[in-house]
Structure 1
Amino acid sequence: MRKPTVLIIDDEKNLVSSLMFSLEEEGMTVFAAYEGKDGLAEIENRSPDVVLLDLKLPDQSGFDVLDRIQTLSAPPITIMISAHGDTRAAVEAVKKGAQDYITKPFDLDELILLIQRNHKHRQLTEEVAYRREREADTHGLIGRSAAMRKLLETVERIGNSSARTILLQGPSGSGKTLIAKALHSTRDKTAPFVAVNCASLPENLLEAELFGAEKGAYTGADKRRTGLVELANGGTLFLDEIGELPLPLQAKLLTFLETHRFRPVGGQKEIDADLRVIAASNRNLQTEAQAGKFREDLFYRLNVMPLTIPSLADRKDDIPMLASNFAWELATQESCQPINLTSETLTRLCNYSWPGNIRELRNTIERLTILYAGESIGIDRLPPEIIGSTSQAKSSAEADYRDPINSSSSLASEMAKREAQCILEALAQSNGRKGDAANSLGISRHALKRRMQKLGLIGDEL
């Protein structure tokens, strides 16, 4: 993720200088303003990611500046800075729209962490929103492979057609439910979409679940029960795992598909229902029908508009995009940073057979997100079945530490000199009293000690 740009609005110049040096050292781009009106002008001209805003400014209240910030179409992250004892006012600022607050004197590391955390959260939120908007254009179906492009084209054609029965066939975990929803939303997103897994209900309840039941139709039926067919009227009924539908109920479903009329359990009158029926199965229903395990006439009635969903093994070019999308989606779900899959890891994911299809891929990314949130994922962190028993897993986690103060970089050296000068000036103004110098810099005594040690201004004692 890119480093944030930060605007500091505070009239304490020593504090501003110290903050600028420290934040620049972290790779951030930093600007400063000493009055509210100048700060608002900087926000308009530079569009910073983060604003550090003091509650008390020479020309106006920090609350007034915050109110103006909140009127912007894309307000920056605002972190309020308050003096010790103004915590209540800082909390009030958060209620008015600020993302966070910190009180003087503060620890520089704490402030840096606060900026980084809020910036990463904003980037994550924006990325997820962008991805969801992009997915909405393709009904949530992700992929650019030839198989996926063909599938998307077919979904659009069938979805916009007048076809009232559609049969989806494909392996478990290949996304049949998502395809059913895409077919539905292509025609009318506002109409009801009702789904039922035919394998999840006992046979004696399935008929009442589908077609409803009148009061007293069976033991325990103390009131009329509305069936899923009636609930889906005007929209789509999705019958998943239709191969599990009992043979007697298959006959009743066939009658409904031919007449679009049904009779609830225990009912005398038939009810009309105008809806599209999408059935799905991971079995070959034609083979099942030939074996007498599925009604042949029902198969041909459902097979008016067949659509075969490719397995993940048939669209491996989509794996990097799917994995990335799941990483962002699950990071949002777990309120953490997304994992980063190395190129080696992506290659290994693409070479795996994925017997569990997209569902298995998502479960894998979810496991990695929970265990290694925000980290780089090398091959060694993949599940054993993906690594393979003969594969030599290599660790990709190497520390890459560079101390910017001790770096030979002329820029880092110049920044260190400027920061050291700022600290020495604060010490001179306070007659060497380090506690007063820390207060004038707006940092804690402990933070000042660490900065001076890092700059070589003192030894281990302060």
Structure 2
Amino acid sequence: MNNLTILVIDDERNLIRSIRFALMDQHIEVLGAATAREGLELARTSLPDVILLDLGLPDMSGLELLPQLRQTLPDIPVIMISAHGDTRAAVRAVKEGALDYITKPFEWDELVMLIRRSSERSHMARELSFHRRRHEHTHRLVGNSPQMEQLRQTLELIGRSSGKTMLISGPSGTGKALVARSLHDVRFTDAPFIEINCAALPEQLIEAELFGAERGAYTGATQHRNGLIALADGGTLFLDEIGELPLPLQAKLLSFLENRSYRPIGGSREIQADVVVMAATNRDLKTEVTQGNFRSDLYYRLNILPIHAPPLAARGDDITLLIHHFSDQFARQEGCEPPHWSTETLRLLCAYAWPGNVRELRNLVERITILHAGQDISPEYLPSEYLDSTNTPAATSLYTEAIEDKERRLILDALQETDGHKGLAAERLGISRHALKRRIQRLGL
């Protein structure tokens, strides 16, 4: 038999003691509060399974306290306690959100049955809400392919768990941020979701962004600054492009993941934070570990609950579905009729390699919807690269080589313009110095 905790809010302390004594053998723990203010605070901190609320309290009536309890703790059932003459008020309380009522003096068997029935109904309602929420948010991920069904199942399993560290892998453009957001929304109803791109900030700023800084900790720190971990407390911190995190900061992140405590820059005390950490990468972190670019202990700490976002080329059954999904989405956004895609056009797009994955497809559909709203889209409406028969999955490596060649030229130009100064070159390219160093190593420059 499961243990339950109930909170009795009643100014008759003898009644609370009697209830506690009577329910002692029923595996029910009884907490007591004699005033409305005390009861509201105890309800918030103890989160009981059921609340018994008396209609008459010294500082306010039970009818006045009821809406505050329902607003603060909507999932906890409230049973009103009334005297024989207060039955009408108790019925009114039920209409205003109480689950049921019971009159004094109690029949103890009746009280136990009412408490257990209320707890079970509340538990079932929370379960139903959880499954409905999980269904809604995981179905933001459009697609019926086996790969997407497997991804949804993974998210559902992780959504039920108490795990607090996840690693989302997959090529660029596969929707890793959407996966993270969907998982966050499954687990939380009203909690912060804080996102940071580890490649977008200069190396010297990332630590302050993550952990915060005290006043005077460094030049320009004129006041205390909360980091993103503090802002994400009680919710989710999403670290995109985790492979770009500098090695010294990898050590600090590992320390935080081990005990969920951190110290701001210039701070002297440890701060606890209850944060779910989701990290995402388009790199093979195992390879990065062997090359000395990523800490092995951090990799294994992050990879406790791995999630893989599949490339679009591997989920060909979803391409047509995604095209129509984005067409309808952008048509609503623009206030126009969606384009009509011909069978031949869809055939060509399904055969395309999609090196940019869902992001590339979304951009194409947005362009077509804006420029050709309501029109029949035959193949000649498509850019030339989508008509090239050699642009199939087998030709993806050629595309990758072209991208790397362009990236190599941009980096070399930036280094030449800054006389080889990596910090200035990184600033000119809009990436961190660490990210530039990684690209130089990867491209063999």
State the match for 2:276 in structure 1.
276
Distance in structure 2 (CA, Å) of the matches to 1:200 and 1:135: 33
Query: Could you say which structure has the higher helix fraction?
Result: 2
State the match for 1:143 in structure 2.
143
Matches within 5 A, 1:153-164: 153-164=153-164
Identity between Structure 1 and Structure 2 (%): 57
Aligned-partner SS, 2:374? coil
Do the aligned partners of 2:138 and 2:183 also contact (CA within 8 Å) in 1?
A: no
Check if 1:196 corresponds to 2:196: yes
State the match for 1:229 in structure 2.
229
Distance in structure 2 (CA, Å) of the matches to 1:344 and 1:361: 17
Do the aligned partners of 1:135 and 1:142 also contact (CA within 8 Å) in 2?
A: no
Unaligned runs of 5+ in 1: 1-132, 392-462
Structure having greater relative contact order (Cα 8 Å, sep ≥ 6): 1
Which letter maps to 2:298? L
Distance in structure 2 (CA, Å) of the matches to 1:253 and 1:390: 44
Do the aligned partners of 1:135 and 1:141 also contact (CA within 8 Å) in 2?
A: no
Distance in structure 2 (CA, Å) of the matches to 1:373 and 1:172: 28
Residue 351 of structure 1 and its aligned partner are, at CA, apart by: 0.7
Deviations 1:245-304 (A, max 9, x none): 000000000000001000011111111001110001000001100110101110011011
Deviations 1:311-353 (A, max 9, x none): 0011110111111111111112222221111121111111111
Distance in structure 1 (CA, Å) of the matches to 2:257 and 2:313: 34
Distance in structure 2 (CA, Å) of the matches to 1:325 and 1:199: 31
Aligned-partner SS, 1:279? strand
Which letter maps to 2:279? A
Distance in structure 1 (CA, Å) of the matches to 2:339 and 2:136: 24
Distance in structure 2 (CA, Å) of the matches to 1:367 and 1:254: 43
Which letter maps to 2:287? T
Do the aligned partners of 2:137 and 2:185 also contact (CA within 8 Å) in 1?
A: no
Distance in structure 2 (CA, Å) of the matches to 1:154 and 1:340: 34
State the match for 1:238 in structure 2.
238
Distance in structure 2 (CA, Å) of the matches to 1:351 and 1:189: 40
Aligned-partner SS, 1:200? coil
Which letter maps to 2:266? G
Distance in structure 2 (CA, Å) of the matches to 1:214 and 1:370: 48
Aligned-partner SS, 2:166? strand
Matches within 5 A, 1:388-407: 388=388
Which letter maps to 2:382? L
The alignment's C-alpha RMSD in Å is 1.7
Deviations 1:215-261 (A, max 9, x none): 11111111111110011111111000000000000000000000100
Q: Which runs of 4+ in 1 moved over 6 A?
A: none
Which letter maps to 2:371? L
Which letter maps to 2:265? V
Residue 137 of structure 1 and its aligned partner are, at CA, apart by: 5.1
Residue 139 of structure 1 and its aligned partner are, at CA, apart by: 4.5
Do the aligned partners of 2:338 and 2:373 also contact (CA within 8 Å) in 1?
A: yes
State the match for 2:320 in structure 1.
320
Do the aligned partners of 2:138 and 2:155 also contact (CA within 8 Å) in 1?
A: no
Distance in structure 2 (CA, Å) of the matches to 1:336 and 1:134: 32
Distance in structure 2 (CA, Å) of the matches to 1:219 and 1:367: 46
Aligned-partner SS, 2:216? coil
Deviations 1:31-77 (A, max 9, x none): xxxxxxxxxxxxxxxxxxxxxxxxxxxxxxxxxxxxxxxxxxxxxxx
State the match for 2:216 in structure 1.
216
Distance in structure 1 (CA, Å) of the matches to 2:390 and 2:138: 39
Distance in structure 1 (CA, Å) of the matches to 2:134 and 2:180: 19
Deviations 1:179-230 (A, max 9, x none): 0011111111311111110001000000000011111111111111111001
Do the aligned partners of 1:199 and 1:241 also contact (CA within 8 Å) in 2?
A: yes
TM-score, normalised to structure 1, is: 0.54
Matches within 5 A, 1:230-309: 230-309=230-309
Matches within 5 A, 1:425-444: none
Aligned-partner SS, 2:138? coil
Which letter maps to 1:309? A
Distance in structure 2 (CA, Å) of the matches to 1:269 and 1:377: 62
Do the aligned partners of 1:336 and 1:374 also contact (CA within 8 Å) in 2?
A: yes
Higher deviation after alignment, 215-224 or 287-296: 215-224
TM-score, normalised to structure 2, is: 0.57
Distance in structure 2 (CA, Å) of the matches to 1:134 and 1:187: 8
Which letter maps to 1:375? Q
Which letter maps to 1:219? T
Unaligned runs of 5+ in 2: 1-132, 392-445
Deviations 1:151-184 (A, max 9, x none): 1111111122111110011000001001001111
Distance in structure 2 (CA, Å) of the matches to 1:232 and 1:337: 40
Distance in structure 2 (CA, Å) of the matches to 1:182 and 1:159: 10
CA gap of 1:332–1:140, structure 2 versus 1, over 3 A, is same
Distance in structure 2 (CA, Å) of the matches to 1:159 and 1:343: 39
Aligned-partner SS, 1:237? strand
Distance in structure 2 (CA, Å) of the matches to 1:147 and 1:261: 36
CA gap of 1:319–1:197, structure 2 versus 1, over 3 A, is same
CA gap of 1:137–1:247, structure 2 versus 1, over 3 A, is closer
Distance in structure 2 (CA, Å) of the matches to 1:236 and 1:169: 17
Do the aligned partners of 2:166 and 2:278 also contact (CA within 8 Å) in 1?
A: yes
State the match for 1:374 in structure 2.
374
Which letter maps to 2:307? L
